[in-house]
Amino acid sequence: MQALAHYPDGHADGVDLSPYALERAAEAATERGLADRLTLHERDARSYVPDGDYDLVLCVGSTHAFGGFGGTLDLAGRHVNPDGVLMVGEGFWQVPPTPEALAALGAKPDDHTDLAGLVAAAERAGWTPVYAHVSDSAEWDDYEWSWVGSLTEWALDNPGHPDSAGTLTAAREHRDQWLRGYRNTLGFVTFVLRRI
């Protein structure tokens, strides 16, 4: 949406498996007056075949859809014009992971690399960062409190709902995994990549 707002002649396609995520995206596009320039597709990003190539492809916090960082560079990267930009947001180990962090994430140490390792992987795949934003601690906290807080609020506002207790438990479990596990261990970077 930011990209569309910056480029008044631009059009965008958004792809997600979740009808709820797409519904929210459609609402946000309407609120921002961008709906006529955004087409939403409810489908697997791996099998999404666009009509043409794109000046910009974004995959932020969703590399699992393409089987990881390398798969995203390859599969999402295929949709990018020769001079276009690929923007990928991915996790990395800020510090070597503790056993608590690994248990919280259900991860193995080599499921992520460090930041330099991600850059090296991008370059091996033919992409190089022309910029990157590393999310700071306040941004991570905001993301996690929003994640946990929205579920908690919903559960508290809907005490009679059959999913209420389970939702509260899910929020608590996630909060514990974050606070006792991976907080300040798992980092997040958003790369702006161009082809080498």
Ligand X SMILES: C[S@@+](CC[C@H](N)C(=O)[O-])C[C@H]1O[C@@H](n2cnc3c(N)ncnc32)[C@H](O)[C@@H]1O
Q: Which residues bind ligand X (CB under 6 A)?
A: 15-18, 21, 44-46, 60-62, 65
Shortest reach from residue 129's CB to ligand X, in Å: 18
Q: Among residues 135 and 152, whose Cβ is nearest to ligand X?
A: 135
Q: Among residues 60 and 130, whose Cβ is nearest to ligand X?
A: 60
Q: Among residues 60 and 120, whose Cβ is nearest to ligand X?
A: 60
Shortest reach from residue 190's CB to ligand X, in Å: 9
Shortest reach from residue 196's CB to ligand X, in Å: 25
* Nearest-angstrom CA–CA distance, 110 and 114: 10
* Nearest-angstrom CA–CA distance, 133 and 138: 14
Shortest reach from residue 16's CB to ligand X, in Å: 4
* Nearest-angstrom CA–CA distance, 77 and 7: 21
3-state secondary structure of 125: coil
Say if residues 93 and 186 touch (Cβ distance below 8 Å): yes
Say if residues 76 and 86 touch (Cβ distance below 8 Å): yes
Shortest reach from residue 114's CB to ligand X, in Å: 21
How many of the other CB atoms lie within 10 Å of CB of 90?
24
Q: Among residues 48 and 154, whose Cβ is nearest to ligand X?
A: 48
Token code pair at residue 105: 């994430």
Q: Among residues 26 and 45, whose Cβ is nearest to ligand X?
A: 45
Task: Spell out the residues 6+ positions from residue 23 whose beta carbon is closer than 8 angstroms to its own.
Answer: none
Per DSSP bridges, beta strands 12-16 and 54-60 are unpaired
